[in-house]
């Protein structure tokens, strides 16, 4: 693919906007090293229950941030929304770093959650709106690449520094993102929605190759679609009366539902604990960092192939392999006391299976639901759809994270892994029957496909 000026501008703008996902990754990855560093890093006592709360309450904040984010970004713009919600994250880091009581840690995590939940709504929308169809999938997967880099960054930094330094080195990415956001163009979709045609033209020209005719044609097509949707725009219930809107909402929420019920955040947040529990001949720190590297490599692979292989096939392969990985982990736990010695080659099996699971997640259900969310909603349903899908994601982050320890106390990791295996297989069935292929289609073409006969078939 030739890197024309327009494509380079789209890549740079996407890389800057999506740096917010790096911020999200550092916050997600922070939990694992912080659980070890907090007791000695603060001047008050920390209980096991406190550690569970710090990990899970973040998801509640993310729901609070996600619900209004779509509407706010439609009012003040995608760029200023990113800046606004990064401020919440900065204040959250301040609370975590200067905490002198448990409540300050809780407030800090909630504030971070608000910011991250909102950014997860705004950023995929922005990237989808500025991208041409043939590179939109690749640019959309940058979001997950940054998340994975942020998680790995937190793991590595957290293994070599103290608590306060960890917070400072993670928090600096928030400041970098805020500064760089002022250097990217606003979404031309947003300008057209506000009837600011001249500003839309300037923005689109920056994001394309400068051919005035091509820019004008693309803007005219977008404007016609927006005007048609505005003519039908009404209350949420009337918007949902449209069949295509209902289907897009089902797809957006469904992809986020199965992303989280695949168990990824239980693995990410409690990876060190899980390796300690299931046993391995490798040190926990080595295992955690190794898995992070695997996740990063496979997310890059997804970025390279998503616009070639398509969304559906990667999601289905991802779900099936994750299901088999969890089933294998369950079998290992069920039989390990009979078959595995500490120095046996089979003692490597937990690391191999978790690495396989992370690889499959990173190839499909990690990045692609965010790509689909940016593509699937019409402008009239986008403020509702992106917020509801993201809120669903973060409600489940809270539920899965909080319930992991409770579930293992009653049914053990064996039962937990097999429950996740079942959800992953249900996710594959959902994608097969419900989710259409969207690669190389304009946002207008996707809406036409959703509105047509047999519109949920590939």
Q: What is the model's pLDDT at position 337?
A: 57
Contacts of 14 (CB under 8 A, 6+ apart): 127, 130, 131, 139, 142
pLDDT tens, residue by residue, 407-423: 777 777 778 888 999 99
> How confident is the model at residue 422, as a pLDDT?
95
Q: Which two tokens stand for residue 155?
A: 């793991």
Which tens digits make up the pLDDT trace of 391-400? Answer: 888 888 778 7
Residue 274: pLDDT above 80?
Answer: no
Residue 211 backbone zone (phi > 0: left; psi -120 to 50: alpha; other: beta): beta
Distances (CA, A) of 94 to 56, 90, 339, 340: 19, 6, 49, 46
Lowest average pLDDT, out of 33-42, 131-140, 335-344, 357-366, goes to 335-344
pLDDT given at position 165: 93
State pLDDT tens for residues 232-271.
555 566 666 677 788 888 999 999 999 989 988 777 666 6
Maximal C-alpha separation, the chain: 72
Which stretch, 31-35, 212-216, 423-427, has highest mean pLDDT?
A: 423-427
pLDDT at 342 over 60: no
CA distance 345 to 454: 50
Specify the range with the lowest mean pLDDT, choosing from 137-141, 166-170, 183-187. 137-141
Six-digit token pair at 426? Answer: 């249900």
**Number of neighbouring beta carbons within 10 Å of residue 45:** 8
- Write 278-286 long-range contacts (CB < 8 A, 24+): 278/329, 278/332, 278/333, 278/336, 278/350, 278/413, 279/336, 279/340, 279/342, 279/347, 279/350, 280/347, 280/348, 280/350, 280/351, 281/342, 281/343, 281/347, 281/348, 282/348, 282/351, 285/159
- Looking at residues 368-397, what average pLDDT do you find? 82
Could you tell me what percent of the chain has a pLDDT over 90?
Answer: 28
* Cα-to-chain-centroid distance, residue 331: 30
For the ranges 113-117, 261-265, 293-297, 420-424, the lowest mean pLDDT is seen at 293-297
Residues 6+ apart with CB under 8 A from 161: 169
Q: What is the DSSP letter of 273?
A: H
CB 349 within 8 Å of CB 332: yes
Cα–Cα distance measured from residue 412 to residue 333, given in angstroms and rounded to the nearest whole number? 10
Task: Determine the pLDDT at residue 455.
Answer: 43
Residue 285 is predicted with a pLDDT of 63
Mean pLDDT of the chain: 82
d(CA 370, CA 241): 25
Please, are residues 25 and 151 in contact by the beta-carbon 8 Å criterion?
Answer: yes
pLDDT confidence band for 388 (50 / 70 / 90): confident
Confidence of residue 457 (pLDDT cuts 50, 70, 90): very low
320-329, 364-373, 447-456: range with highest mean pLDDT? 320-329
Higher pLDDT, 56 or 312: 312
Residue 192 CA to residue 200 CA, distance in Å, equals 6
* Class of residue 245 by CB neighbours under 10 A (exposed 0-12, middle 13-18, buried 19+): buried
Residue range 176-201: mean pLDDT, rounded = 91
| Sequence-distant (≥ 6) Cβ neighbours of residue 343 within 8 angstroms | 281
Dihedral angle of Cα 360, 366, 369, 373, to the nearest 10 degrees: -160
Report residue 186 CA to chain centroid gap.
Answer: 22
- Which of 95-104, 282-291, 334-343 reaches the highest mean pLDDT? 95-104
Model confidence at 440, in pLDDT bands (50, 70, 90)? confident
- Average pLDDT (80-102) is 93
Residues 6+ apart with CB under 8 A from 419: 407, 411
């Amino acid at each position: 693919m030739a890197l024309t000026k327009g494509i380079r501008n789209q890549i740079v703008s996407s890389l800057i906007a999506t740096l917010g996902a790096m911020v999200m990754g550092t916050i997600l990855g922070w939990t694992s090293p912080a659980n070890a560093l907090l007791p000695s890093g603060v001047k008050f006592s920390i209980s096991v229950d406190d550690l569970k709360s710090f990990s899970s309450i973040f998801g509640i904040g993310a729901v609070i941030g996600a619900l209004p984010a779509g509407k706010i970004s439609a009012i003040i713009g995608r760029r200023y929304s990113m800046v606004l919600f990064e401020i919440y994250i900065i204040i959250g880091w301040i609370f975590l770093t200067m905490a002198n009581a448990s409540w300050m840690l809780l407030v800090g995590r909630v504030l971070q959650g608000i910011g991250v939940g909102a950014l997860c709504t705004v950023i995929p929308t922005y990237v989808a709106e500025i991208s041409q169809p043939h590179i939109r999938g690749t640019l959309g997967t940058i979001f997950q690449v940054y998340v994975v880099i942020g998680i790995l960054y937190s793991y590595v930094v957290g293994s070599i520094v103290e608590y306060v330094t960890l917070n400072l080195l993670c928090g600096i990415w928030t400041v970098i993102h805020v500064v760089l956001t002022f250097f990217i163009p606003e979404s031309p979709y947003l300008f057209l929605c506000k009837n600011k045609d001249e500003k839309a033209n300037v923005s689109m020209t920056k994001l394309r190759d400068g051919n005035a005719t091509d820019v004008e044609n693309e803007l005219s097509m977008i404007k016609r679609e927006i005007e048609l949707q505005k003519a039908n725009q009404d209350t949420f219930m009337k918007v949902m009366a449209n069949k295509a809107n209902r289907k897009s909402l089902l797809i957006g929420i469904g992809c986020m539902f199965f992303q989280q019920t695949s168990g990824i955040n239980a693995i990410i947040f409690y990876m060190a604990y899980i390796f300690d529990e299931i046993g391995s001949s490798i040190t926990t720190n080595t295992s955690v960092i190794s898995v992070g590297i695997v996740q990063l490599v496979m997310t890059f692979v997804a970025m390279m192939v998503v616009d070639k292989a398509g969304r559906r096939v990667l999601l289905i392969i991802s779900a099936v392999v994750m299901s088999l990985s969890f089933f294998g982990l369950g079998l290992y736990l069920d039989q390990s006391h009979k078959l595995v010695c500490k120095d046996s080659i089979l003692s490597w099996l937990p690391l191999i299976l978790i690495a396989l699971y992370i690889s499959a997640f990173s190839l499909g259900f990690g990045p692609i639901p965010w790509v689909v969310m940016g593509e699937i909603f019409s402008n009239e349903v986008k403020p509702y759809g992106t917020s509801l899908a993201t809120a669903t994601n973060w409600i489940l982050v809270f539920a899965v994270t909080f319930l992991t320890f409770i579930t293992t106390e009653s049914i053990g990791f064996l039962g937990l892994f097999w429950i996740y295996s079942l959800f992953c297989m249900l996710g594959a069935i959902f994608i097969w029957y419900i989710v259409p292929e969207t690669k190389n289609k304009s946002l207008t073409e996707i809406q036409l496909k959703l509105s047509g006969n047999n519109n949920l078939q590939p």
